[in-house]
């Protein structure tokens, strides 16, 4: 079992410069604790995400960590010129000594991509084309491509990543129909779905993986993402969670409500913490309670990777740090050797 971090870098109420500084100190703690990967969301024009240019923040992560892998979850590929992103990926992988996690997607919000003039209706098609252009650029010395959205003739590619032939690929998904592509590409996956839906996605991935003649021993990581708060008592952990979560939840739906677009995650992300926890999408408790929660969740979903959201909403840096310290000392050792 491996553990990772998912981070929206959402508005905490602190001044923005302080917010960045506090989060980088927390990321240093993730590195010391031995987490596998740090996955940073990309959102635009919303307090849900204060890393709209994830590569800039991740360049600081590269310099502040030594072992932790990191990357976007996900780059919204239709928003980038492929040549610019090829260069950025190579730079981040080189600056970190090969620790970059290349997360890709088209974006969940038609509002956010619409700000950039991208048609959400053709976003999936543009995403696949952009992905192919970037794949060529990362693996070949010259870029030639002719498609519906992109055209390149004899463009020299002068940089390469450390990870050859391609950086570690990640895909965030909630839809089974995206799994055949993810399995074909050999992408590691993370889903926010409940355990039953996550199990269906993971089982489908394994089935698609076998269709390509690949051994199960070579399967990528398949993860589930949950909010996690740990304290010395369950009452203290729930007090923190109940106070911090509503701010994050308001920001999650903010643009959808402003532009009167139905919010697709309303059922799985209730407004308050207690129903979120009751649905199995979160846990707030002591280290032993969190250990039991993770064991039950990963077994039910068939997951090999558990991704924690430790810092969100109005939670203070000290509260998030205490969760991480308790998790590292009393939760992670219980899963050592599992996989």
DSSP sequence for 196-208: HHHHHHHHHHHHH
pLDDT of residue 86: 98
pLDDT of residue 174: 84
pLDDT of residue 338: 61
34 is written with which tokens? 């031995």
pLDDT of residue 50: 98
Residue located via tokens 């690929």: 169
Q: At 299, is the secondary structure helix, strand, or coil?
A: helix
pLDDT of residue 95: 98
Is this prediction's pTM over 0.95? Answer: yes
Count how many Cα atoms sit within 13 Å of the Cα of residue 156 in the half-sphere of its side chain.
Answer: 1
CA distances, 148 to each of 127, 130, 152, 261 (Å): 11, 10, 12, 28
Assess contact for 227 and 241: CB atoms under 8 A. Answer: yes
Residue located via tokens 């059922």: 267
Q: What CA–CA distance (Å, rounded) separates 330 from 236?
A: 17
Q: At 27, is the secondary structure helix, strand, or coil?
A: helix
List of the chain residues with pLDDT < 50: 339
Query: 2 - beta bridge partners?
Result: 305
Assess contact for 98 and 161: CB atoms under 8 A. Answer: yes
């Amino acid at each position: 079992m491996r553990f990772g971090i998912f981070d929206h870098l959402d508005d905490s109420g602190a001044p923005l410069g302080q917010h960045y500084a506090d989060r980088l100190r927390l990321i240093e703690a993730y590195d010391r604790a031995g987490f596998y990967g740090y996955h940073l969301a990309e959102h635009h024009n919303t307090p849900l995400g204060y890393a709209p240019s994830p590569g800039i923040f991740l360049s600081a992560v590269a310099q502040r960590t030594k072992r932790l892998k990191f990357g976007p979850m996900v780059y919204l590929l239709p928003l980038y010129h492929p040549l610019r992103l090829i260069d950025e990926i190579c730079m981040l992988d080189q600056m970190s000594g090969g620790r970059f996690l290349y997360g890709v997607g088209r974006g969940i919000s038609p509002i956010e991509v619409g700000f950039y003039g991208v048609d959400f209706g053709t976003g999936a098609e543009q995403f696949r084309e952009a992905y192919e252009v970037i794949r060529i650029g990362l693996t070949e010395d010259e870029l030639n491509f002719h498609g519906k959205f992109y055209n390149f003739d004899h463009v020299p590619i002068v940089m390469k990543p450390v990870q050859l032939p391609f950086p570690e690929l990640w895909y965030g998904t909630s839809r089974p129909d995206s799994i055949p592509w993810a399995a074909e590409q050999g992408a590691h996956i993370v889903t926010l779905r409940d355990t039953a839906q996550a199990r269906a996605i993971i089982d489908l991935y394994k089935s698609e993986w076998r269709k390509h003649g690949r051994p199960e021993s070579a399967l990528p990581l398949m993860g589930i993402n949950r909010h996690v708060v740990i304290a010395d008592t369950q009452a203290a952990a729930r007090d923190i969670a109940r106070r911090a979560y509503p701010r994050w939840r308001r920001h999650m739906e903010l643009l959808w409500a402003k532009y009167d677009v139905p919010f697709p995650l309303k059922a799985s992300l209730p407004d308050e913490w207690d129903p979120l926890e009751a649905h199995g999408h979160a846990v707030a408790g002591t280290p032993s309670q969190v250990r039991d929660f993770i064991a039950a969740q990963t077994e039910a979903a068939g997951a090999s990777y558990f991704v924690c959201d430790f810092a969100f909403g109005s939670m203070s840096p000290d509260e998030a740090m205490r969760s991480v310290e308790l998790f590292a000392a009393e939760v992670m050792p219980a899963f050592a050797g599992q996989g």
